[in-house]
Amino acid sequence: VLENTAAPSWVMQVILLVLALGFPLAVILAWAFEVTPDGVKRTESLEADERPPSMAAPDYLLVGLMVTVVVIAGVQFARMPGQHEAPPVPRTASIPDESEASIDLETAVGASDSFEPIDERTSIAVLAFENMSPDPDNAYFADGISEELLNILAEIDGLKVASRTSAFSFKGTSTPIPQIAEQLGVRHVLEGSVRKQGNRVRITAQLIEAGDDAHLWSEVYDRELDDIFAVQEEIARSITGELESLLGTRSVAVAAPTRNMDAYQSYLRGRSRFYQRVMLDEAIEDLRRAVAADPDFAAAWAFLAAIEYVVGNDGYPTELDQDALTLKSVETVDRALSLNPDNVMALAIKGQQLFDATSTDSVEQGLTMLESAASRVTPDSTPRLWLGLSLFQLGEVARALEVLEQAQAQDPLVAINNGYLGVVHAALGRTEIGRSYALRSVELSGSLTFWTNLLAIELANSGDIASAVDLLRESLEAIDGEPPLQGALLEALTEGLTLEQLEQRHPELMEGAVASFFRTNAGLLLGEIDAALDEADGPITGPRYSLINSAWMPSMSALREHPAFFRWVTELGYVDYWQKHGFPLGCAPVVEAGVTRLECGGES
């Protein structure tokens, strides 16, 4: 009854405590008094004919049963979470082989053994603070304060902090705190609100112990905007003070990233838009205003470089020159690193730039910098994700799996983390496990089918057309509407169409930027490798990601052993890297009739 009425767990604790304390009292009163027709009388004052008969065997059994219930209640009370031990958290683990593929999605999202799991007793999630400002556009400021607190707490030794994207995924929902904590695998939750009006800020924060749904601490701060960093430090110190018995004494000091409040607000707005991947052109303007107001604002330079790089390379809607943005991001990230060589976002962007630069040594230099970024303390799983993807593109599938498991364990509610982990499992021959993760990515994103398409390509080329059709249908059912590309791929498999026939049926897919992506995915799905590779040299990055991610699938030997594929990866600088560190998947270059290609066999 309590569970179905959503009663907090402390209600049961109180009930058990009352039972345990009240039972001895009830026994004493029952022993000393009797209820008679003339009222309640002490037992020793009763006449012989008023005394109750001696207890029969069933009475002793009833008393024994009552005592047993109380003993069990006492034992259960002693074991209640928050009294003597932490409540159990669902452990997630990497899946060793295909035989264990029939798994529930809640437990499928796992952590590598090499990745330190969150210690629940000293773990916390920072939820997006609610915007209580009169102006709804100030939501960016509430998000920004939450993010700043999350970053500060992540730096505290011994305190494990849930990643930003997963924690912020509950924004605007009515999910109960214990349920949020269970999904994030944490013991404590920080929530609050921000009200900003003019130069005045009111921040309300409260720390909740999720096991008991109990408020450990709460405070209201009314400050001038100039005092915002002092408030952040006070909140962090209050949290470490509440957890001192578990963490020990921890010092907290917040260094102001800028003293220019106009620059700081522009930075928070631009960063918020970047994380949400919305209004990215405006986000670039926000961050350019921030660095113009304070040229020494390292964090603003780092996020400006990130947005310039992402918009320049990943095909987001923009009115800006993408090639110019890509070049500008190199200059911008160098500025960020000159101001703060340890900025994790700047290190990750620089590593990705070097990995994509295609010069002889840049691939190796990029990996080194990505590894450095991935090893730093950060609540953002992006550096690990980028490192894992770079390793996978190089064909180092086993290493990529380990890193992508870490990224997914750090941020389990992010679609891209689940999607690419599913793709790498499929590359290792674990298609059922890969399918679970890929479908989870569709569920989390509500729209993206990129990763299920890659798994369908593997299934179709391995001869399992029925499973490929089922996967495409299931991913379509999980999203709103029917993406034209997804519908066309499903149509091609169910009706046995060629790429040419599919193009004739869907001329709308042969126009603009989508045409290259369509031809690549449809060509790979239908085994028409030449047509797919024709798109590798185009200006759109999507087809290249489809090609390089498909190349290491077990069934795609025709792609990775194609001469055009060898020419392409040579231009990317991968062949230079392989010649120094070894070729993947047992591959080796062979020359036939003056043309070089890979010949592959064995395992990576």
pLDDT digits (tens, 9 = 90+) for 331-376: 999 999 999 999 999 999 999 999 988 776 899 999 999 999 999 9
The span from the CA of 561 to the CA of 112, in Å, is 31
**For residue 275, how far is the Cα from the chain centroid?**
13
Nearest to 156 by CA among 229, 249, 228: 249
Of residues 209 and 15, more confidence is placed in: 209
Q: Which helix (H) or strand (E) holds 125?
A: strand 123-126
pLDDT score of 188 more than 50:
yes
pLDDT score of 167 more than 50:
yes
Between the CA atoms of 283, 288, 293 and 296, what dihedral angle is there, to the nearest 10 degrees? 110
What's residue 52's pLDDT? 56
Q: Which residue(s) pair with 35 in the sheet?
A: 40
The alpha carbons of the chain give a radius of gyration, in whole angstroms, of 30
The span from the CA of 545 to the CA of 188, in Å, is 39
Tell me which amino acid residue 433 is. Answer: I
Mean pLDDT over 97-112 rounds to 35
Pairing of strands 33-36, 39-42: antiparallel
By three-state DSSP, how is residue 201 classified? Answer: strand
What's residue 44's pLDDT? 62
What is the pLDDT confidence band of residue 105, given thresholds at 50, 70 and 90?
A: very low
pLDDT digits (tens, 9 = 90+) for 432-454: 999 999 999 999 888 788 899 99
Nearest to 556 by CA among 432, 455, 478: 455
Tell me which amino acid residue 8 is. Answer: P
pLDDT digits (tens, 9 = 90+) for 288-335: 999 999 999 999 999 999 999 989 887 678 899 988 999 999 999 999
Q: Which helix (H) or strand (E) holds 11?
A: helix 9-32
pLDDT score of 560 more than 90:
yes
Q: How is residue 418 written in tokens?
A: 């689940």
What is the pLDDT confidence band of residue 39, given thresholds at 50, 70 and 90?
A: low
Of residues 236 and 434, more confidence is placed in: 434
The span from the CA of 407 to the CA of 400, in Å, is 11
Mean pLDDT over 222-248 rounds to 84
The mean pLDDT of the chain is 82
pLDDT digits (tens, 9 = 90+) for 257-294: 999 999 999 999 999 998 888 899 999 999 999 999 99
Full DSSP string of 380-427:
--HHHHHHHHHHHHTT-HHHHHHHHHHHHHHSTT-HHHHHHHHHHHHH
The span from the CA of 125 to the CA of 276, in Å, is 19
The span from the CA of 520 to the CA of 502, in Å, is 13
Write phi, then psi, for 436 (nearest 5 degrees): -60, -45
